[in-house]
Chains A and B, each alone.
Chain A
């Protein structure tokens, strides 16, 4: 990842900045109201993991990313959750793997991929959600492509703007929030 330290760093940033810019300022209020109104209706009950069903018994065939993935440092591109991330890591920017840095806002839209955790040998659903609203952080630029698909499959595309609906439109960095485990 030497590239993030040289002059091209700005290029990557500005590309990301603009492609993450999306309209939607006026939608925020509506969304907040809707979110509040519906906050009481959980559609995804919090279920404890059934340990007996963990998939540890068979070793799956690993992709190149999975073979090199590590579980200890979420500020590096080969951290297991970043198997298909495209952008700067919020963990390098004052945020965290699922936290937006101060002054920025998590996007409501995202795309959801599947990453394999080599420590517990299970696959997790990961939401690649961008933090928007402040000039780009520019640190730790990654572009991993496990399972990333072209634009005609937008639900798995890491080049599209996923900042629809945030109050500001500047791309800051990307998170990899853990959504859950597929049964």
Chain B
């Protein structure tokens, strides 16, 4: 059972509404139905688009991922910037620093992930990322400490220092 259907089970009225929606959107697909959907497609801004193209596959287009395999971003990523050590971990993520995006575009994606998608009490008082910080991140020599060890240390610290949820430890890739 996937998450939305679990939700439907919890909220029967929502379930009935979903059923009504299904009459329009869920029958055997015909291209005509598809074009109706296309006309009311969601529009993404630059940061959201870049999130989709560069991060959304593994981390989920909604920021929901299998947390054991892929760190969960939604409602959780923001905790990482509650503390300088956590932020340094974000700054040193190779998949972030080497993304084929300009410094300004990458700063926008980071801000979207940390402060919107991953917004949490931990990100409430943190400063946004700037193109200047991204440029410095990219110029810094890469840490010789293995990435997963770095994450574990950063997460253990923010759990202790900021009171971040223990679910941050769900990610156990190796």
Residues of A in contact with B (beta carbons under 8 Å apart): 24, 26-27, 30-32, 34-39, 41, 43-44, 46-50, 71-74, 79, 81, 91, 94-99, 105-106, 108-112, 114, 117, 119-120, 124-125, 127, 154-156, 162, 164-165, 178-183
Residues of chain A with a CB closer than 8 A to B170's CB? 30
Chain B residues touching A, range? 35 or more
Quote the shortest CB–CB distance from A153 to chain B (angstroms).
9
Question: Could you jot down 20 A-B contacts, CB within 8 Å?
Answer: A32-B1, A34-B64, A44-B48, A46-B42, A47-B43, A49-B40, A50-B43, A97-B29, A97-B34, A109-B69, A112-B56, A125-B44, A127-B56, A155-B55, A155-B58, A164-B58, A165-B66, A178-B37, A180-B42, A183-B44
Q: Name which residue of chain A comes closest to B69, CB basis.
A: A164
B70 and A125 contacting across the interface, CB-CB below 8 Å: no
B42 and A30 contacting across the interface, CB-CB below 8 Å: no
A39 and B4 contacting across the interface, CB-CB below 8 Å: yes
Residues of chain A with a CB closer than 8 A to B35's CB? 71, 119
Contact of A181 among B41, B57, B60, B75 (CB under 8 A): B41
Assess A96 versus B29: contact at CB under 8 Å? Given A49-B40, A119-B35, A164-B69.
Answer: yes
Quote the shortest CB–CB distance from B106 to chain A (angstroms).
15
Quote the shortest CB–CB distance from B168 to chain A (angstroms).
12
Residues of chain B with a CB closer than 8 A to A119's CB? 35
Quote the shortest CB–CB distance from A141 to chain B (angstroms).
18
Please tell me if B149 contacts chain A, counting CB pairs below 8 Å. no
